[in-house]
């Protein structure tokens, strides 16, 4: 299935890009964004010492545009990343890998065996209130936390679920918008995050009363647990909510699963709860605090062989001194560690046609 989707998406994308370059006065246009981010941080681990890190230092390109009035495309590449470490236990604590790209890029010096050069690459056909997309795209999973671009995120402040889930997969999706776009319903079939068996996703994005936004999703996929308990389907329910009031916002995400980077996300029981409270201080400055609580539990009969809670509290600030430039910083506390990261992100935008 994956090979068929890849070939179809590649052929379709190539044909339409050529057509777009030749088209005149058809509503076509495209742009290229080069996003460069440089971070520097320190992490203090209890009983271990202090470590320097490069945060989310990375280099991306984002190539998007319209081929015609009805056809559009989006291609994202992640060229450089700072963290190629492996997940595992450290002082009895589960440590997330921080590497979001184990299935998206394959370079000799990374030691990864990724299945594609792209984070995503898909085409979209719009007809009336419907959108049909095909190619490599994010799986329908997660709440508001999954809406942010990877280059805008401080990975150390995110949930383990977000860090460990292989979200970029090959698939097809169809969406319908109603009430002038206030509500969008999406269905998707794609490869899943481990064994390329089908995954089925359903999502509702809504805007209610000008103050509440929703991102509710359900993902049905193969059951990947190493110790099988007889089930064959894993249902991942995500409830994402965002409330805005003047210059304040509050997001609350609940997922009925916890991530498990040690086992490449094998559907550990538990839950992920993430809350973010933010405020726009000035036109070009925003600040937020985030609390993430995840419970990991698994049992064999009446005996738990994995049962613990992982909290994470952080403060984040963004300053936009000029167009294209953002200065960011974050600090926080997690299991047995304290961390602080500062950096800057600059985006170069080019209009191609």
SS3 254: strand
- Checking if the pLDDT of 63 tops 80, the result is yes
From the list 196, 211, 272, the residue with the least C-alpha distance to 247 is: 211
* 330, β-bridge pairs: 316, 341
Look-up: residue for tokens 């370059």?
A: 21
When mean pLDDT is compared across 112-126, 246-260, 288-302, the lowest value belongs to: 112-126
SS3 303: strand
CATH topology of domain 2-351: Porin (2.40.160)
Per DSSP, the residues of 125-164 read EEETTEEEEEEEEE-S--SGGGGS-GGG--GGGS-HHHHH
CA distances from 312 to 54, 134, 156, 226 (A): 20, 36, 9, 27
The two three-digit tokens of residue 325, written as one number: 């430039």
Contact present, 52 and 79 (Cβ < 8 Å):
no
The CA distance from 335 to 353, in Å, is: 49
SS3 1: coil
- Checking if the pLDDT of 76 tops 70, the result is yes
For 232, half-sphere exposure in the C-beta direction (CA atoms, 13 angstrom radius) is: 2
Task: Please list the helix, strand and coil fractions of the chain in percent, rounded to the nearest 5, in that order.
Answer: 10, 60, 30
Sequence ranges of the domains in the chain: 2-351
When mean pLDDT is compared across 66-70, 185-189, 227-231, 244-248, the lowest value belongs to: 227-231
Would you state the torsion angle of the CA atoms of residues 37, 40, 44, 49, taken in this order, to the nearest 10 degrees? 120
Q: What is the pLDDT of residue 261?
A: 45
Per DSSP, the residues of 50-70 read EEEE-TT-EEEEEEEEESSSS
DSSP secondary structure code for residue 91 in this structure? T
Contact present, 305 and 286 (Cβ < 8 Å):
no
Q: What is the pLDDT of residue 238?
A: 95
Q: Which has the higher per-residue pLDDT, 310 or 233?
A: 310
Q: What is the pLDDT of residue 25?
A: 52
The CA distance from 219 to 50, in Å, is: 39
């Amino acid at each position: 299935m994956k090979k068929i989707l890849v070939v179809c998406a590649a052929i379709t994308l190539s044909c339409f890009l050529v057509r777009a370059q030749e088209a005149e006065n058809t509503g076509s246009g495209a742009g290229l964004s080069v996003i460069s981010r440089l971070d520097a941080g320190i992490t203090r681990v209890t009983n271990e010492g202090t470590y320097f890190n490069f945060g989310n230092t990375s280099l991306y390109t984002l190539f998007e545009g319209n081929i015609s009035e009805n056809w559009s495309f989006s291609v994202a590449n992640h060229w450089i990343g700072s963290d190629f470490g492996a997940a595992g236990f450290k002082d009895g604590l589960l440590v997330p890998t921080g590497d979001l790209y184990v299935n998206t890029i394959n370079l000799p010096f990374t030691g990864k065996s990724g299945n594609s050069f792209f984070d995503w690459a898909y085409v979209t056909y719009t007809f009336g209130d419907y959108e049909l997309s095909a190619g490599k795209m994010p799986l329908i999973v997660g709440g508001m936390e999954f809406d942010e671009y990877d280059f805008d995120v401080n990975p150390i402040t995110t949930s383990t679920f977000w860090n460990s889930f292989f979200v970029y997969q090959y698939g097809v999706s169809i969406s319908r918008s109603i009430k002038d776009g206030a509500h969008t319903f999406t269905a998707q079939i794609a490869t899943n995050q481990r064994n390329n068996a089908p995954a089925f996703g359903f999502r509702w994005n809504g805007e209610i009363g000008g103050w509440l936004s929703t991102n509710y999703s359900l993902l049905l996929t193969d059951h990947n647990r190493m110790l099988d308990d007889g089930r064959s389907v894993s249902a991942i329910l995500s409830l994402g909510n965002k409330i805005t009031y003047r210059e304040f916002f509050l997001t609350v995400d609940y997922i009925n699963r916890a991530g498990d980077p040690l086992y490449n996300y094998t559907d550990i029981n538990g839950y992920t709860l993430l809350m973010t409270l933010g405020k726009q201080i000035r036109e070009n400055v925003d600040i937020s605090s985030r609390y993430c609580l995840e419970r990991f539990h698994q049992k064999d009969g009446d005996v738990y062989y994995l049962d613990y809670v992982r909290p994470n509290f952080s403060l984040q600030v963004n300053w936009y001194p000029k167009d294209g430039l953002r200065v960011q910083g974050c600090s926080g506390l997690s299991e047995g560690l304290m961390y602080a990261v500062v950096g800057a992100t600059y985006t170069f935008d080019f209009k191609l046609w």
